[in-house]
Structure 1
Amino acid sequence: MQSSASTTVIDSRTVVALLSRLRSMAGQADPLPLYASLRELGDVVPAPWGGYLVTGHRSCDEVLRSPDWLALDQAWRAQRAEGSRWSTPSSRELEQTLVTLNPPQHTRIRRSVNNIFDRGTLDTLRPTVERVANELLDTLVEHAGDADADFAELVGEQLPVVTVGHWLGLPPEDFDLLRALTHAQAYAQELLPTKRQLRAADHAIRGLREYFTALVARRRAEPGDDVISGWLRAWDTLEPDRAVADEHVYALAMFVVIASLETTSALLTTMVWTFDRHPEQRSWLREHPAAVPDAVEEVLRYDPPLHLTTRYASRDLVLAGVPVPRGEVVHTLLCAANHDPSETPDAHTFDVTRRARHISFGSGIHYCVGASLARLEAGVLLETMLRRLPALRVVAPPTWEPRLAFRRITRLPVSVR
């Protein structure tokens, strides 16, 4: 099927079949063999609908780091056909967020807030994360009793929203709404969303705009020592038009929340599922708790919360020997890259003793702004579970949402006895 990087001829039906299987329940539960099959087709595989799938670690890292490959910004989306997925309200709204901005706009936004989750912020948040993790595990134990409880709903979904909600000073009664809107808007960033999913994303993004514009307006009217008031003060020094400044803060607040909730909740629940399938690794880690940070990195490598990102070529380029014309898109398959045996020996093995290298948080200027916060939450939760719940086990297969980009376990029944 493959002769060389530049002369590869691939039956599109093979690619379609592999992607369809990735969306299935079986594929969600064990995607690694399917990613291995995609890697066998080459580092850069033509996508049946146009563009390319990038499977190799070196090629994915090059796309994510190089300024020649751009995020799907407003200029790119404006060139798509009217009536396409790129003209939907959810797609248009994302044009204002960091994930779709390129320099110089991206640089200006990032500099306005510096390193959002710096060491001082993390040190301040740690006691809250520890307290909330313990409270959520108390709730899990209560619900489990002699039966089983849903870890995804009771813990995995809750810790991120309570943490970021506390940090931003959001009312706890709003947390369920924010979770629901966040999960729905993620469809707009899927690889091939259905019309139903796009309608759900459009509805969610309208709800998010209403919520966060009202939040910014309240903080503008009654500023305090909170994070959002600080962002408003920072933008007032950069932008003379307060309406424009408020719009920047709206987009930033919304982006931080949806990015924190969607990916970290997936990481936390997937972490439990992964350790349940590797009990010897969990037992070793319980005896060596100092290795928890390395274990979190291995979870991120083995099954990242985000499996796919997209870029487009700023000019005619060549990637792994494959010509990619200006404006063409490439989809980096992060999980496939993390399991590239040329980068990670014995990559199919989950091994918490290794110093895992991965691109699960991206690379370059779009490296995840909340990576350090996600690591903090995962590390605290893992250490707490190992200490408090040594008998925690999964008692039924997870329920997965059939996605290709954002991983999501919607239900994970566990027992604590």
Structure 2
Amino acid sequence: MSGFELVGKLLDPVSRADPYPLYAEFRARGPVWVEEMSTLVVTGYRDCETLLRDPRLSAERWRFFQDDQAADPYPPDAPPSVRRPWFLSLDPPDHTRLRRLVSSAFTARAVARMEAPVARLVDDLLDRASGRDTFDLLPGLAGTLPVTVICRMLGVPQADERLFHHWSARLTRLLDGFSAPDDGNGETPEWVSGTVELHRYVNELVADRRRSPRRDDLISELLAAQDGGDVLSHDELVSTIVLLLVAGHETTVNLIANGVLALLRHPGQLAALRADPGTAAAVVEETLRYDPPVQLTARVADRDLLVGKAKVPAGGLVILLLAAAQRDPAANPDPDRFDPGREQVRHLGFGFGPHFCLGAPLARLEGRLALAAFARRVREPRLVADPPPYREHINLRGVGELLISHAGITR
């Protein structure tokens, strides 16, 4: 089977429930050059780790797909911020500057302050599910927790949080990034209208915060962020807030859902977590390795380079199959076994190098608290359907529904 045919199988929705045997086929071939796509697919752990910090590869992957003839999808009256690239898709010095400004507000101290509020929110969500014999983990916990947390960190009025749930769901396909999000029916794609609506709302939110500053929310901290006299422009600030919402939501949804799914498929590990909630952090790290919320990332070669025996010409795309790399036996022995107790967990679940995820501490906190509470409070949980249905996303691969039956949810 050719590399192009393997990519075709990867795109096939049939592979969504379990792409890992397909990843093993890729990995057995080493770096695979797919001529039809001008793309190199990389699956080895060492190769992926090395390439994520290689300055010859650009994070501005939109350049590979850019079509000079393509029409601007946004209406003329859309806020200028919709056309500004997210800083995770920029290279130095732009990426370095924006990341430094944002990280000065998105600190470990700020995340640590969230532990008690997040724990209360997790318990509140499980309380709401306690009156039903069966509940869907996505709206019941995994899908609601992350967007509520980021909204409250940003200082979004609670009455408006439901809007952010809706916008985040509509923008997820855009963030998935593996294929062009085009509805193909000649109408304005849903992600376009959702993007415009979200940017308009955030523009108004930022303008309101400028008029009436607060000191206890992330927007106020980002407004105050500066480094050597440099500050975020208005459009940079709006674009960053949108990124924090959308990227921080979808990936953490999948982290929590994938962790619960793995625990339900491995009752012994669920029992171990229930007996010792302190192991929840290890369960999160193993979930990030075993079934990560982000399956791949991509870079564009700025110049000709050699990866193994594969040659990549300047302008070629390099797809790093992180989920495959993390099951590389050279990095993690017995990689197909879900084992939170393994001595060392090597993963690239938050990336590596200059683009390492700024939101990693918050995602780890939410994952740890959600998984520990699920194990402690939900009695005799069982999957209603295995495998559960999956959404169409390739990169941000996750379940569309996770129905769980149980014998009760304790206080």
Per the normalisation by structure 2, the TM-score is 0.89
Seen in structure 2, the aligned counterparts of structure 1 residues 235 and 245 have a Cα distance that, compared at 3 Å, is farther
Tell me the residue number matched to 2:78. Answer: none
**Paired residues of 2:291 and 2:323 also in contact (CA < 8 A):** yes
What residue number does 1:4 align with? none
Equivalent position of 1:165 in the other structure: 151
Query: In the superposition, relative to structure 1, how do residues 73 and 42 fare at CA in structure 2: closer, same or farther (>3 Å)?
Result: closer
Amino acid of the residue matched to residue 223 of structure 1? P
Gaps of 5+ in 1: 2-9
Trace 1:296-307 onto structure 2 (pairs within 5 A). Answer: 296-307=284-295
Structure 2 residue corresponding to 1:262, chosen from 229, 250, 261: 250
Q: Secondary structure at the match of 1:272?
A: helix
For residue 390 of structure 1, report the CA deviation from its aligned partner: 3.5
CA deviation after TM superposition for structure 1 residue 389, in Å: 1.6
Determine helix, strand or coil for the equivalent of 1:65. coil
User: 1:140, CA displacement in angstroms?
Assistant: 1.5
The alpha carbon displacement at 1:209 in A equals 1.2
Greater fraction of residues in helix: 1
Counterpart CA distance in 1 for 2:31 and 2:3 is 16
Distance in 2, matches of 1:348 and 1:47, equals: 30
Letter in 2 for 1:195: D
Partner of 2:225: 234
Within-5 A mapping of 1:76-225? 76=63, 80-83=67-70, 88-89=73-74, 93=82, 95-142=84-131, 144-145=132-133, 148-188=134-174, 189-193=176-180, 195-196=182-183, 199-225=189-215
Deviations 1:223-278 (A, max 9, x none): 121321222222598458xxx72112111111111111110011111111111111
1:78–1:345 distance in 2 versus 1, CA, 3 Å: closer
The C-alpha deviation readout for 1:327-362, integer Å capped at 9, x for no partner, is: 211111111111111211100111110131100110
Partner of 1:371: 360
> Aligned match of 1:62 in 50, 56, 59?
50
Question: Is residue 104–residue 225 contact of structure 2 (8 Å, CA) maintained in 1?
Answer: no
Call closer, same or farther: CA 1:48–1:279 in 2, change over 3 Å.
Answer: farther
Instruction: State the identity %.
Output: 33
**In 2 relative to 1, CA 115–264 (structure 1 residues): closer, same or farther, beyond 3 Å?**
farther
Indicate how the Cα distance of structure 1 residues 276 and 332 shifts in structure 2: closer, same or farther if over 3 A, else same: same
Give SS of 1:52's match: strand
Q: Alignment length, in residue pairs?
A: 395
Per-residue deviation, 1:281: 1.4
Residues 116 and 369, structure 1, Cα contact 8 Å, conserved in 2: no
Per-residue deviation at 1:376? 0.3
| Contact kept in structure 1, 2:255 and 2:367, CA below 8 Å | yes
Task: From the superposition, tell whether residues 180 and 174 of structure 1 become closer, same or farther in structure 2 (CA, over 3 Å).
Answer: same
Q: Which stretches in structure 2 are left out of the alignment for 5+ residues? A: 76-80
* Residue from 283, 292, 314 that aligns with 2:280: 292
